Amino acid sequence: MTKITDSIKYLKGVGEKRALCYNKLGVDSIYSLLQFFPRAYMDFSETKDICECDVGEICCFKAKVFRKQGEQRIRKGLSIFKVFVTDGTQDVIITIFNSKYIFDSLEIGQEYSFYGKMQGSPLRKEMHTPSFINIDKECPVKAIYRLTEGLSNKVVSNAVKQALDLWGDNLEDVLPDYIKQQEKLCHIRYAIENIHFPESTNALEISRKRLIFQELLVLQLGLLLLKKTSREGTTIKINGCNMKEFTSKLPFELTRDQKIAINDGLKDFISGVPMNRLVQGDVGSGKTMVACALSFAMQRNGYQSAVMAPTEILAIQHYNTFKSILENMDIKCELLVGSLTAKQKREVKEKIASREVDIVIGTHALIQDSVEFNNLGLVITDEQHRFGVNQRAKLAQKGKNPHKLVMSATPIPRTLALIIYGDLDVSVIKTVPKGRLPIETYMIDSKKRDRAFNFIKKHIDNGNQAYIVCPLIEENEEIDQGLFSVEDYAKKLKGSILSEYRIGVLHGKMKPNEKEKIMVAFKNREIDILVATTVVEVGVDVPNAVIMMIENAERFGLSQLHQLRGRVGRGDLQSYCILVSDNKSEVTVQRLKIMTKSSDGFYISEQDLKQRGPGDFFGERQHGLPVLKIANMVDDMNVLLKTQKLASEIIKDDPYLQNDENKGLKLLVDELFANKAE
């Protein structure tokens, strides 16, 4: 007898081959199949009269079959069947391709609900292979699943039905009874059954309410458990620091917000409680200087600091910045990244262990077991949403409860940041360094590309540089024609008005040393135009680059466009961003227009969250939090706030979820955080 934790391959009709298809969707066991919630639903209960259904509209109508026309062979490999239906107001011809089974299942005299796109003409309406149900026998709400090659919606639905029939009664409800009563939540068996096979729209809502509440409660409990140790006092205490020594040697003046953020950190250092602070700053607002200043304070009090960045390019950028600022203050910085030779890595690790290094800047290489710090006092993670929760914790474990600073150039509305980062204190840097001019942003279509090239030419002739960003790396990467690839675009430039200029290419498939070589060449003005993917989103600081042109701009989220735009305007020169898109969708045009009207990253992020949902900030591969299966941190904000409060109360009474009533919740916490995105 199979167990609920067994591989999905043991279900009838799945097997080894199809199990691999499920694995691509993150489904490997019978249990995880039951947790594979639908992405959307078709509601066959919301029907219209056929006469009200416009051609081109996706609609649902009830109609009775009154005539059937047998198989017609159109050409080799293509047969069509026609079924004629009516609701009394008008007739519709249903065309079915290559499926006698579907044709036979539609019976003359029987009424069905049909769902699909209306085609044909107003007087002769047609529908091609619509979805349909027998309204006398089937539930009106049908689940739609995420699919991959080798799986159809029906195949997944049948597998889920089989799993429910076998194991539905064995699903243990781990949510304490008092919570279910207090929040009026249904039993887990009812919730799982009706999320996959809703009895009605009301049953679906009852199920969603239960599952969303449970998922967000488990998330909040997990975050609180992870963060508990960070508030347990620390021996790393500084007695103050003469920051004038630091500021007097800077070649510029710190902004008001930078000074406030540094003071916030210094207060944390002397409090006796480990700092756990998020510094949020728009692109180019100077977060690195805050990190630099706090690392300086640590060094002057005898402690080491570690700075972890998500990419080598960004780590090298930080290393160069820290070194240029702190070297003349007798502070030693070292770089630890994957592309160093084995000998170089060994030498750096020895210096860290013997305390010859005050500040080490690196990538994931910092969290290797072989890296040992001598007296780690401060841990800094940059673009921290790109690291997993455990990766950040692992770096902190290199010291004895060190202070933690996390930095993000992805502005998130403050209320959301406070919820997601729980007990992190938040410092916001909104002011930009003096001399920075707002970046002028324009939206054009491809007909004006030549004018844009002339604009780029004029600025290069004046001694400046430009970026051109494309969504793809190679031409054959996607079938979708009309999308530009870096490789192909660079070739096309050589046959354009820009052919006389030095063109470089940068993308994520290049080796780290190749990327670094290109970056150095661009920074040293040996390249005039850098054609790149979004790899330039972080870590490229070239004050002489004044134009950022983004092809297929509709393919990027607003926050990502804002990040890319932030690569220019790094100096005191007027800079420009050109968004190129032929997409005429009203929603897309309005979305891109936001970029032309505002340069405030916090405003842009709010608009992005409203329009696109949380994908840009909390997409699987970015946020470092566990992947949520059903809840949405934006749409379910009220539930998020409620579960945050409840989680705090539960942890207050039972700090490690050891009471019998909470043991089930602890299992769910362990399960959710074991499958987190890293």
Cβ within 8 Å of residue 151, ≥6 positions away: 18, 21, 22, 25
Predicted confidence at residue 229, as pLDDT, reads 56
Which CATH number does the domain housing residue 460 bear?
3.40.50.300
- What are residue 506's phi and psi, to 5 degrees? -140, 125
Q: Which residues contact 64 (CB under 8 A, 6 or more apart)?
A: 85, 86, 87, 109, 110, 111, 112
CA distance 63 to 110: 8
**Do both 38 and 50 map to the same domain?**
no
Residue 4 lies in a domain: yes
DSSP-derived secondary structure for 414-436: HHHHHHHTTT-EEEEE-PPPTTP
Q: Residue 216 domain-assigned?
A: no
Strand segments, DSSP code E, in 581-660 are: none
Contact 391, 624 (CB under 8 A): yes
Output the pLDDT for position 286: 84
| C-alpha dihedral, 441 to 442 to 446 to 448, nearest 10° | -120
Q: Of 429, 459, 488, which residue is a domain's last?
A: 429
* Residues shown for the chain: 678
Of 232, 190, 235, which is closest to residue 210 (Cα–Cα)?
Answer: 190
Does residue 423 share a domain with residue 294? yes
Sign of CA dihedral 180, 181, 185, 189: positive
Which residues, in sequence order, are bridge partners of residue 276? 404
Q: Is 606 domain-assigned? A: no
Separation CA 486–CA 497 (nearest Å): 18
Q: What are the pLDDT digits (tens) for 484-526?
A: 888 889 998 988 999 999 999 998 888 877 887 888 899 889 9
Half-sphere exposure (Cβ direction) of 82: Cα atoms closer than 13 Å: 11
Q: What pLDDT score was predicted for residue 230? A: 55
Q: What is the model's pLDDT at position 482?
A: 65
For residue 619, the SS3 value is coil
Residues 282 and 335 in one domain: yes
Please report the pLDDT score of residue 628 as a whole number: 78
**Which residues lie closer than 8 Å to 289 by C-beta, 6 or more apart?**
250, 254, 258, 325
Query: 456 and 536: one domain?
Result: yes
336 inside domain: yes
**Residue 578: count of CB within 10 angstroms of its CB:** 24
CATH number, domain containing residue 33: 1.10.150
**Strands 40-43 vs 91-97: parallel, antiparallel or unpaired:** unpaired
Q: What is the CATH number of the domain that holds 65?
A: 2.40.50.140
Tell me which residue of 310, 311, 271, 265 sits closest to 287, measured CA to CA.
265
pLDDT of residue 539: 57
- For residue 360, report the phi and psi dihedrals to the nearest 5 degrees: -115, 130
Tell me how far apart the alpha carbons of residues 332 and 325 are, in angstroms, rounded to a whole number: 11
350 three-state secondary structure: helix
| Residues 320 and 381 both lie in one domain | yes
pLDDT at residue 576 in the model: 96
CA atoms within 13 A on the CB side of 64: 7
3-state helix, strand, coil in the chain (%, to 5): 45, 20, 40
- Note whether residue 633 is domain-resident: no
Last residue of a domain, one of 116, 139, 162: 139
* pLDDT in the model for residue 601: 81
Euclidean distance between CA atoms 267 and 177, whole angstroms? 43
Q: How many CA atoms lie within 13 A of 110 on its CB side?
A: 16
Regions of the chain where pLDDT drops below 70: 1-2, 227-234, 384-392, 413-423, 474-482, 537-540, 610-626, 675-678
In a domain, 641, yes or no: no
* b/e burial code for range 106-143 (CB count within 10 A of at least 16 → b): beeeeebbbbbebbeeeeebbbeebebbebeeebbbbb
Handedness of CA 288, 333, 294, 276 (dihedral sign): positive
Supply the range of the domain harboring residue 346.
Answer: 231-429
Among 372, 401, 429, give the residue marking a domain's end: 429
Q: How far apart are CA 316 and CA 519, in angstroms?
A: 10
Q: 88 and 64, same structural domain?
A: yes
Give the sign of the dihedral formed by CA 140, CA 143, CA 149, CA 155: negative
Compute, in degrees rounded to 10, the torsion defined by CA atoms 481, 483, 486, 487: 10
Q: Does 381 share its domain with 276?
A: yes
601-612 and 586-597 helices cross at what angle (nearest 10)? 170
Cβ neighbours for 448, distance < 8 A, ≥ 6 positions apart: none
Whether residues 38 and 51 share a domain: the answer is no
Q: How far apart are CA 418 and CA 104, in angstroms?
A: 57
Residue 298, in any domain of the structure: yes
- Nearest-angstrom CA–CA distance, 334 and 339: 14
Q: Across the strands, what pairs with 485?
A: 472
**661 occurs within a structural domain:** no
Same domain, 359 and 458: no
Instruction: Report which residue type is found at 213.
Output: F
Q: Tens of pLDDT along 324-354?
A: 999 889 999 999 998 889 999 999 999 999 9
For residues 166 and 30, membership in a common domain is answered with yes
Same domain, 445 and 545: yes
Total number of domains in the chain: 4
Evaluate whether 76 touches 57 at the Cβ level (below 8 Å): no
- 290 and 421 both lie in a single domain: yes
Q: Tell me what pLDDT residue 621 has.
A: 37
Output the pLDDT for position 511: 83
